[in-house]
Amino acid sequence: MTTIRHIDRVLLPVPDARLAAEWYASEFEFQIARRGSKEIDLKIHDGETWLTLTEPEEREPFRPQLHLDAEGHVPCFNFYTHWVDLHGEWLKSRGIRTTETMRTPYMNVCEMADPFGNVVGICHEKEHSLFYTPSPRPLPPMFHRILAVFLPVKDLEASIRWYSDVLGFQLHNHWGQGADLMIGEGETIVTMICMDEGKHRQAVQAMNGRAYYSLQSSDIREAYRQICGKGVAAGPCRNRDGIQLFDVTSPEGLTIRISEKEMISVG
Reported confidence tier of residue 192, pLDDT bands at 50, 70, 90: very high
Reported as a single tens digit per residue, the pLDDT across 78-137 is 999 999 999 999 999 999 999 999 999 999 999 999 999 999 999 999 998 999 888 866
Distance in angstroms (rounded) separating the CA atoms of residues 130 and 29:
27
Reported as a single tens digit per residue, the pLDDT across 205-250 is 999 999 999 999 999 999 999 999 999 989 999 998 889 999 999 9
Residue 46: is its pLDDT beyond 90? no
pLDDT for 7 = 98
Distance in angstroms (rounded) separating the CA atoms of residues 76 and 88:
20
For the residues 189-204, what does the mean pLDDT come to? 97
Average pLDDT, rounded, for the chain: 93
Reported as a single tens digit per residue, the pLDDT across 50-78 is 999 999 988 899 999 999 998 989 999 99
10 bridge partner residues:
51, 213
Residue 186: is its pLDDT beyond 80? yes
> Contact at 8 Å (CB) between 20 and 14?
yes
Residue 264: is its pLDDT beyond 70? no
Asked whether the CA dihedral 194, 196, 199, 200 is positive or negative, the reply is positive
Residue 191: is its pLDDT beyond 90? yes
Reported confidence tier of residue 140, pLDDT bands at 50, 70, 90: confident
> Contact at 8 Å (CB) between 151 and 77?
no
Residue 75: C-alpha distances to residues 68, 122, 135, 203 (Å): 6, 9, 25, 10
pLDDT for 265 = 47
pTM of the model: 0.94
Distance in angstroms (rounded) separating the CA atoms of residues 191 and 189:
6
CB atoms within 10 A of CB 64: 14
- Report the b/e string of 121-156 with b at 16+ CB within 10 A: bbbbbeeeeebeeeeeeeeeebbbbbbbbbbbbbeb
Residue 153: C-alpha distances to residues 72, 137, 177, 198 (Å): 14, 37, 10, 11
pLDDT for 108 = 97
Residue 221: C-alpha distances to residues 120, 144, 224, 258, 261 (Å): 33, 32, 5, 11, 12
pLDDT for 233 = 85
pLDDT for 125 = 94
Report the chain's terminal Cα–Cα distance, integer Å.
33
Residue 6: is its pLDDT beyond 50? yes
81-90, 133-142, 162-171: which is most confident: 162-171
